[in-house]
Amino acid sequence: MSGGLDGPAPEERPTPDGRRNSQGIRIDPEAEAEPEARRVVLSALVKHEPGVLASVSGLFRRRQFNIESLTVGPTTDQDRARITLEIEEPDPGIEQAKKQLQKLVPVIAVTELEPDAIRRELALIKVDGSAPDQVGAVAEMYDGKTVDVSQESVTVEITGSEQKIDAAIETFGRFGIHEIVRTGTAALERGTRRTT
Amino acid sequence: MSERTTKQRETDADESTEADASDASPTTVTSGATSTVRALENAGIEVMFGVQGGAIMPVYDALWGSDIDHVMMAHEQGAAHAADAYNVVSGQPGVCLATSGPGATNLVTGIADANMDSDAVVALTGQVPQTMVGSDAFQETDTTGITAPITKNNYFASDADTVGDTVGEAVALAGSGRPGPTLVDLPKDVTNDETDREPGMPQTPETYTPQDEADEAAVDRAAAAIETAERPLLLFGGGVVKAEASEAARSFATGYEIPVVTTMPGIGTMPEDHDLCLSWAGMHGTGYANMAINHTDLLIAVGTRFDDRLTGGIETFAPEADVVHVDIDPAEISKNIHADYPLIGDAGRVLEQLDDAISTAPNAEAWREQCRTWKVEYPMDYAAPDDEPLKPQFVVEALDEATSDEAIVTSGVGQHQMWASQYWTFREPRKWISSHGLGTMGYGLPAAIGARLAADPDEEVVCIDGDGSFLMTVQELSVAVREDLDITVAILNNEYIGMVRQWQDAFFEGRHMAAGYSWIPEFDKLAEAFGARGWRVDDYDEVADAVEEALAYDGPSVIDFHIDPAENVYPMVPSGGANDKFALSEEQL
Ligand SMILES: Cc1ncc(C[n+]2csc(CCOP(=O)(O)OP(=O)(O)O)c2C)c(N)n1
């Protein structure tokens, strides 16, 4: 094929020594370390209008942010809703996620919560009904309560941190779990710190 | 010939051109549709591009009495591209209009294109009445759902009383901060409903607050880095054009004598024949621009999003450089390339701030000399032997020479686009109108229509197109003829979708699967069939005459240049490669 220009060939050109990692950060070429992923909770105050949740979830899907959980609910202001997201990303990814969220026009404010923020999930766990007393005892161990009992099954409600709920589900496993349902994380800053 | 197609244009033709904008009487608001039109008038919209259809008919009807000009396009994609180019040339928002369903989906490519290039395009789409939304009614599509990821924001209008304000907001938002496309979906009941509420003047939403000035301390740190840099390099992107900051950018470059490379959308921010300008960098950018990028120790990037066609492989991009990144969109900072000195704000304003903060120019004479040496070492000189078929680069240079410095160039996507941007010498911004980020074949012709309507009459509009790209939107030639638009289309016809063939030669062992046309229309005759003028050129000695005649013709003209089908575009950085390892010929790939 034709075409072509004059000049020194690629291997005849001086090559710079430096290098960047895949995040575009300049690094020491000897010690190439990719940043580790962190798990954080982002809280977004948004306009309470149709399509906002779709925009937020669409954004996270399209930009391939690793989303662990997403919850949405009203606030004391009826024109505003709060979306709580948990993501697991390296720092540059977390920064990008926050900025991209903030860029959506119906998003009013975005904060990354402190590591010690109050975080809660809720789970409903339906287990086999053959040992209701033992199920009740285990529920109490996890500050949970029995919310429904039938011939075949007992349903327990547990709230708490994700780890606590994981542990509860594991314990209830020995009764034989029929079904579970879990919410995502709801979170607020502690003390007088404001979430957004 | 110029039979006008809209009522407005008939009125213009009949009543001469006395009526100027200041006499324009605003539309009286009686319905959601008239409120929509009134909002566009309030926003200063003078022209829009569209195609009629059921759900949008009330809006069209409301245009009957308006002073806004409407250009009836052949295809909604053409309407979106025309609106896009109108925006790039004029700096004013471009507006396009389509019906629901297929009308809206036909706009999608153009909206996505505008989104990638941050162009202020406002799309208004008809929608089925709200009572029927969700019922899979005739020509119903989820337009706001489909366009959410490709708009800056979109709106579903639900009330005749507020629809005008919503449209005004969509126009204001499209053009402010980092521009981008917006869309308003207009259910037919909303546009038909009665209202006498007049929309206010267009306003951006209260949650939208782009930052104008960069943080002072950050500016001081960046200024200190610039003062001490040994090999500083400016990189001007399309954001410089959007911010009307080309003058500020030029005086910054010349004031501190810092060499400049641009991105493709940044072409013209610095005159390409200026001693400090190294032209544009990236996959098919100049060798000297790419060498400079990979050897600079301080890259001062203004209004660019570090697209992969610019950076090549991230690992090897500007590997010696600290990066100063000026951008109005915080989300662009450290998205692809880490910014050591992030400066969020308006490009022109931040350059002023930097200028105030810098006390001494960097001492970079040796570096400037190095850049000059690279210009000599890697010249953009192609061979054009008379005994070989016509070279496309020669055609581009001939067109550049025959036109004024004010000429506007649009293009399709492919090899011809690269030759146009390499061999045309641009001296001003808003002259190179192309589909950069999305790479949309078929952009060129409708863009020439939009550009023509935005440009001054003495600015020539030339579309440098590929045969494949031209075939994608050729129907818009009917619009150019009907509207009597003076545009010149130069097809660099290689009877291939050439860029694909080039990649097949380089990376698929020359297997030309679905790349060649075994038959292709005679474009000069096709042009004549549309009512335009057509020429066919095969040889060097026919080029000058055809160019002269086509430019002289006061209407749409098409020159079908049959070029060397084997010609390839160089330099070339293979995707993901290091910019300074560009190939100068196929053997080097
Ligand atoms: C809508 C669209 N479809 C497919 C492509 C992929 N593509 C990129 S360049 C190219 C070839 C363009 O051919 P032509 O317009 O004749 O220009 P040439 O490369 O021959 O100058 C193709 C098919 C594209 N960019 N856009």
Helix (H) or strand (E) holding A139: helix A132-141
Q: pLDDT per residue over A118-135, tens digit each?
A: 999 999 999 999 999 999
Q: Which atom of ligand 1 is the closest one to the Cα of B439?
A: 25
Q: Which of A3, A51, A100 sits opposite B331 (nearest CB)?
A: A100
* Catalytic site includes residue B236: no
Query: Which pTM was predicted?
Result: 0.95
Q: pLDDT per residue over B344-400, tens digit each?
A: 999 999 999 999 999 999 999 999 999 999 999 999 999 988 889 999 999 999 999
Q: What ipTM was assigned to the predicted interfaces of this complex?
A: 0.91
* Catalytic site includes residue B417: no
Burial-class residue B122 by CB neighbours within 10 Å (0-12, 13-18, 19+): buried
Length of chain A (residues)? 196
Token duo for residue B69: 């000009």
CB of B266 within 6 A of ligand 1: the answer is: no
The whole-angstrom distance between A69's CA and the closest CA on chain B is: 21
CB of B466 within 6 A of ligand 1: the answer is: yes
Band of residue A66 on the pLDDT scale cut at 50, 70, 90: confident
Residue B316 reports pLDDT greater than 50 = yes
The residue contributing the CA closest to ligand 1 atom 8 is: B414
The residues, any chain, with a CB within 8 Å of residue B119's CB and separated by 6 or more, are B84, B87, B88, B94, B113, B179, B180, B181
The residues, any chain, with a CB within 8 Å of residue B246's CB and separated by 6 or more, are B236, B240, B268, B269, B270, B428, B429
Pairwise CA distance, residues B231 & B369, whole Å: 11
Pairwise CA distance, residues B30 & B197, whole Å: 8
Pairwise CA distance, residues A89 & A95, whole Å: 9
Q: Which atom of ligand 1 is the closest one to the Cα of B471?
A: 15
Locate tokens 């079904």: which residue?
A179
Which of B499, B523, B561, B582 is flagged as catalytic? B499
The whole-angstrom distance between B279's CA and the closest CA on chain A is: 16
Residue B7 reports pLDDT greater than 50 = no
DSSP states along B508-562: STT--TTTB-SS---HHHHHHHHTSEEEEE-SHHHHHHHHHHHHHSSS-EEEEEE
CB of B415 within 6 A of ligand 1: the answer is: yes
* Catalytic site includes residue B138: yes
Mapped onto helix, strand or coil, the DSSP state of residue B429 is coil
Pairwise CA distance, residues B435 & B422, whole Å: 15
Band of residue A32 on the pLDDT scale cut at 50, 70, 90: low
Cβ(B235)–Cβ(B300) under 8 Å? yes
* Catalytic site includes residue B139: yes
Q: pLDDT per residue over A93-121, tens digit each?
A: 999 999 999 999 999 999 999 999 999 99
Q: pLDDT per residue over B483-520, tens digit each?
A: 999 999 999 999 999 999 999 999 999 999 999 999 99
